């Protein structure tokens, strides 16, 4: 099972990525843009994800993915249950979310 510690280990190694705690929730940012955020109980991870593809994941794997909270619907955002993914999928989600917000030249230079 994937834990917040697994995600943090990966996210902290990504260029320009840093973590903050906001209102008791751990979040990862690039600049001022949040690309990962955890629920207070650390069972759900929100991540940057294109709005136009959101319904594809929600409909294909509803046991795994959750829609964004109502206040986040307007953003490029999706949520996943950490207990429903393995480390390989977590790695893909985190790196894709990071690439979504980092400058293109930084993403292009990262191999991972």
Comparing 17 with 112, the larger pLDDT belongs to: 17
Helices 87-101 and 4-11 pack at an angle, to 10 degrees, of: 40
Q: Is residue 112 part of a domain?
A: no
Structural contact between residues 66 and 81, judged by C-beta atoms closer than 8 angstroms: yes
111 located within any domain:
no
pTM of the predicted protein model: 0.94
φ, ψ dihedrals at 89, nearest 5°: -70, -40
Q: Could you tell me if residue 50 is inside a domain?
A: yes
pLDDT tens per residue, range 75-112: 999 999 999 999 999 999 999 999 999 999 998 888 75
User: CATH number of the domain that 101 lies in?
Assistant: 3.90.1150.30
Q: Can you give the residue range of the structural domain that contains 87?
A: 4-106
- The domain tally of the chain equals 1
pLDDT, position 1:
84
For 62-75, letters b (16+ CB in 10 Å) and e give eeebbebeeeeeee
In a domain, 93, yes or no: yes
């Amino acid at each position: 099972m994937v834990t917040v510690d697994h995600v943090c280990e990966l996210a902290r190694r990504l260029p320009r990525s840093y973590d903050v705690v906001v209102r008791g929730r751990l979040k990862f940012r690039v600049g001022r843009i949040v690309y990962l955020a955890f629920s207070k109980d650390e069972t759900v991870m929100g991540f940057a994800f294109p709005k136009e593809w959101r319904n594809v994941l929600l409909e294909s794997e509803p046991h795994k993915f959750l829609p964004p909270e109502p206040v986040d619907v307007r953003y490029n955002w999706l949520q996943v249950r950490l207990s429903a993914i393995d480390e390989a999928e977590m790695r893909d989600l985190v790196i894709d979310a990071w690439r979504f917000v980092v400058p293109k030249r930084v993403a292009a230079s990262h191999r991972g």
